[in-house]
C-alpha cells in the first residue's frame, strides 16, 4: 500500500476515532451511548494527550450535541459528532435543521435497535428512519472502510455543503477488531484541504442564517438541496478514486462483488455484505452464478447506477437488516422504486433478515438464493427465521 506502513488492530469504533483525528475537526460535541461510546472515549483520550487539537464539548443530550454541531459549522469550523439509536432519534429535529442550513457536519452513527423494548443489537432502522432529513447517508462494512469513509466524508460534505452521516452496524463492525491500515497525517492533509466556507457567522461579514422566509424561498432552498444531492454520487466516486490513488483502496457509491454473468445478485448494506461475500464464494464454488451489489451510498440513492447495474440480471434478492412496520424492508422498497418501469429489470425479492440483530448465517443466504432464484417475487418483504 502506498505510503502506508502503519497497520494496527482496531475495532470499527476506534478506526473511526483514528480517521476523525487524522481529518482534524475543529469542534466535536459528543454524547455517550452504547455502542458508540468507544468513539467518544478514544477521541477524548487523543484530546487529553494533545494529539487532537479540537474543541471537545460534552453537552447534556444529543439534541444539544447536534445543536452545537450546526452552530459551530455555521461559524466556519470543521465539525464531527457520533451517536447511535436513541441519540440519533433525539437529534431528529436538528438533522432537518442541519441540512436545511447546509451545514457540512460529519456524523458517525452506530446502528442499534431503538426502544421500546430496550436492546443494543445491530439493526439499521435508527439511521434509515432518518432517511428524509436531507443528509448524505453512507453505510460501512468494516473497520477499514469506516476509517477511510470518515476521512472522505469531510471532503464530500464540505465540497457540497451537505451534512453526511456514515453508519456501521453495532458490534459486528463497531466492536469487531481487524487489522486497519492507518494513512499518514501528511497524506490526509494533502487529501483534505482545510475548511474555509465563504458564508459563515462572522462579525466581519454580517450574514445571518435561518431567518423566516416565504413559501417560494423555502421551496427554492429545497431545490438547491436537490441540485447538491444530484452531485453527490459523482463526488463520492471522485473522492473514492482520489483516496484510492493515495492508499490503494478505492470506493464508489455501489460496489460489485463477483457480479459478472450473475443470474442472481444479492443487494444489501453494512455488515451483512461480509457474510454475503462468503455465501457468494460458496455458491460460485458450487457453480451458481451469484454476486453481491453493495449499497455504500444510500442517500442520495444512486438510482441510475442501480438500474445500470441490475439491467438484464434475472433475479435480485434484497436483504434488509431493518423493518419499516406496514411496508417491510426499506432497501427493498427503495430498490423496487429505483427499478420502476425498466423493461429488463430483475425479479426483486425482499427479505427481512437480521431484524433486531439476529444472526444471518452464510448458509441461510445460500438457501434463500437456491429457494428464490427462479420463484415469482411477492411485492411484500418476506420475514426470514
Ligand X SMILES: Cc1ncc(C[n+]2csc(CCOP(=O)(O)OP(=O)(O)O)c2C)c(N)n1
- What's the closest the beta carbon of residue 31 comes to ligand X, in angstroms? 6
- What's the closest the beta carbon of residue 68 comes to ligand X, in angstroms? 15
By beta-carbon proximity to ligand X, the closer residue of 64 and 324 is 64
By beta-carbon proximity to ligand X, the closer residue of 29 and 300 is 29
- What's the closest the beta carbon of residue 127 comes to ligand X, in angstroms? 15
Residues contacting 234, CB < 8 A, separation 6+: none
By beta-carbon proximity to ligand X, the closer residue of 120 and 209 is 120
Cα–Cα distances (Å) from 215 to 161, 212, 227, 277, in that order, read 22, 10, 19, 48
The cell 463520492 sits on which residue? 236
In this structure, the strands spanning 347-352 and 290-295 are unpaired
Q: Rule CB under 6 A: is residue 302 a binding residue for ligand X?
A: no
73: left (phi over 0), alpha (psi -120 to 50) or beta: alpha
Among positions 20, 23, 33, 77, the unique one binding ligand X when judged by CB under 6 A: 33
- What's the closest the beta carbon of residue 147 comes to other proteins, in angstroms? 22
By beta-carbon proximity to ligand X, the closer residue of 87 and 122 is 87
DSSP 355: G
- What's the closest the beta carbon of residue 44 comes to other proteins, in angstroms? 5
- What's the closest the beta carbon of residue 73 comes to other proteins, in angstroms? 22
Q: What is the contact surface with other proteins in residues (CB under 8 A)? A: 30-34, 37, 40-41, 44-45, 48, 58, 60-61, 86, 90, 115-118
**The entry of ligand X, other proteins, none that residue 370 binds, CB within 5 to 8 Å by partner kind:** none
**The entry of ligand X, other proteins, none that residue 151 binds, CB within 5 to 8 Å by partner kind:** none
**The entry of ligand X, other proteins, none that residue 298 binds, CB within 5 to 8 Å by partner kind:** none
Sign of CA dihedral 97, 356, 283, 342: negative
Ranges within 34-63 binding ligand X (CB under 6 A): 62
Nearest C-alpha neighbor of 352 from the set 375, 333, 371 = 333
By beta-carbon proximity to other proteins, the closer residue of 13 and 239 is 13
**The entry of other proteins, ligand X, none that residue 60 binds, CB within 5 to 8 Å by partner kind:** other proteins
Rounded Cα gap, residues 81 and 70, in angstroms: 11
**The entry of other proteins, ligand X, none that residue 122 binds, CB within 5 to 8 Å by partner kind:** none
Burial of 238 (0-12, 13-18, 19+ CB in 10 A): middle
By beta-carbon proximity to ligand X, the closer residue of 119 and 242 is 119
Ranges within 62-101 binding ligand X (CB under 6 A): 62, 86-87, 90
Rounded Cα gap, residues 145 and 173, in angstroms: 10
**The entry of ligand X, other proteins, none that residue 356 binds, CB within 5 to 8 Å by partner kind:** none
Helix, strand and coil content of the chain, in percent to the nearest 5, comes to: 40, 20, 40
Among positions 32, 114, 263, 314, the unique one binding ligand X when judged by CB under 6 A: 32
SS3 313: coil
The cell 426470514 sits on which residue? 384
Ranges of H-type helices in the chain: 12-23, 37-48, 62-74, 85-90, 92-100, 125-128, 143-160, 185-191, 215-230, 232-247, 272-285, 303-310, 330-338, 362-372
**The entry of other proteins, ligand X, none that residue 37 binds, CB within 5 to 8 Å by partner kind:** other proteins
Rounded Cα gap, residues 365 and 361, in angstroms: 7
By beta-carbon proximity to ligand X, the closer residue of 86 and 362 is 86
By beta-carbon proximity to ligand X, the closer residue of 26 and 86 is 86
Check: CB of residue 124 under 8 Å from CB of residue 321. Answer: yes
- Residues contributing to the site for ligand X (CB under 6 A): 32-33, 62, 86-87, 90
Amino acid at each position: 500500500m502506498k505510503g502506508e506502513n502503519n497497520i494496527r488492530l482496531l475495532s470499527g469504533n476506534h478506526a473511526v476515532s483514528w480517521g476523525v483525528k487524522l481529518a482534524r475537526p475543529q469542534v466535536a460535541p459528543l454524547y455517550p451511548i452504547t455502542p458508540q461510546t468507544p468513539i467518544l472515549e478514544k477521541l477524548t483520550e487523543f484530546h487529553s494527550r494533545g494529539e487532537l487539537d479540537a474543541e471537545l464539548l460534552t453537552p447534556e443530550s444529543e439534541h444539544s450535541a447536534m445543536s452545537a454541531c450546526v452552530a459551530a459549522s455555521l461559524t466556519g469550523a470543521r465539525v464531527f459528532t457520533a451517536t447511535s439509536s436513541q441519540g440519533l432519534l433525539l437529534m431528529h429535529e436538528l438533522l432537518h435543521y442541519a441540512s436545511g442550513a447546509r451545514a457540512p457536519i460529519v456524523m458517525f452513527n452506530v446502528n442499534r435497535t431503538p426502544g421500546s423494548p430496550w436492546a443494543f443489537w445491530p439493526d439499521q432502522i435508527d439511521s434509515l428512519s432518518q432517511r428524509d432529513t436531507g443528509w448524505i447517508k453512507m453505510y460501512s462494512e468494516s473497520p477499514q472502510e469506516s476509517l477511510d469513509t470518515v476521512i472522505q466524508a469531510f471532503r464530500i460534505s464540505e465540497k457540497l455543503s451537505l451534512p453526511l452521516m456514515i453508519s456501521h452496524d453495532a458490534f459486528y463492525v463497531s466492536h469487531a477488531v481487524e487489522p486497519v491500515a492507518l494513512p499518514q497525517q501528511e497524506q490526509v492533509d494533502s487529501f483534505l484541504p482545510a475548511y474555509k466556507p465563504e458564508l459563515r457567522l462572522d462579525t466581519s461579514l454580517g450574514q445571518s442564517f435561518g431567518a423566516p422566509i416565504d413559501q417560494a424561498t423555502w421551496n427554492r432552498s429545497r431545490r438547491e438541496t436537490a441540485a447538491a444531492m444530484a452531485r453527490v454520487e459523482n463526488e463520492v466516486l471522485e473522492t473514492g478514486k482520489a483516496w484510492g490513488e493515495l492508499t490503494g483502496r478505492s470506493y464508489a457509491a455501489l460496489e460489485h462483488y463477483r457480479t459478472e454473468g450473475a443470474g442472481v445478485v444479492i443487494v444489501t448494506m453494512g455488515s451483512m455484505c461480509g457474510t454475503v461475500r462468503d455465501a457468494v464464494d460458496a455458491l460460485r464454488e458450487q457453480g451458481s452464478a451469484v454476486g453481491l451489489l453493495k449499497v455504500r451510498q444510500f442517500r442520495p440513492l444512486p438510482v441510475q447506477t442501480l438500474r445500470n447495474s441490475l439491467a438484464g440480471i434475472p433475479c435480485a434478492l434484497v436483504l434488509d437488516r431493518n423493518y419499516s412496520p406496514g411496508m417491510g424492508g426499506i432497501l427493498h422498497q427503495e430498490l423496487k422504486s429505483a427499478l420502476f418501469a425498466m423493461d429488463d429489470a430483475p425479479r426483486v425479492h425482499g427479505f427481512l433478515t437480521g431484524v433486531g440483530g439476529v444472526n444471518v448465517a452464510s448458509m441461510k443466504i445460500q438457501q434463500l438464493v437456491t429457494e428464490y432464484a427462479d420463484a415469482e417475487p411477492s411485492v411484500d418483504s418476506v420475514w426470514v427465521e
